[in-house]
Amino acid sequence: MILVVDDDARIRTATAGALSALGHKVVSASGGAEALSLCADRPEIRLVVTDVLMPGMRGPELVAKARAVRPDLRFIYISGDIGDTPPDAFGGWPLLPKPFTAASLSEVVGQALAG
């Protein structure tokens, strides 16, 4: 199962829809607190696709907190603007620039789930 986290409902819905069309089971969250709750409650989540800049909790903070609870999780960042986030804040997880295609999303998700 894949968790999609983005504060923009249009992007969240489109990303979740593309992943569902690719055959993945998907849940979504509009922010970090909701995402952390889902990660704790849903052990079937294997991958988190998260925006970088979100109100309340940025993507790198979400990843750090989620990994503390679920070190087995894998992550992909998606963002059209990383703001002042330093590149080393991503911890080696891939960054897929917005806008992205279903094909590029499929490729990076396949790599993340395989590796």
Closest listed residue to residue 43, CA positions, set 12, 72, 17: 72
Give pLDDT tens digits for 66-115: 999 999 999 999 998 888 888 788 999 999 999 999 999 999 999 999 97
pLDDT at 35: 98
Give pLDDT tens digits for 24-34: 999 999 999 99
pLDDT at 84: 86
pLDDT at 45: 98
DSSP state string for the chain? -EEEE-S-HHHHHHHHHHHHHTT--EEEESSHHHHHHHHHH-TT--EEEEESS-SSS-HHHHHHHHHHH-TT-EEEEEES--TT--GGGGTT--EEESS--HHHHHHHHHHHHH-
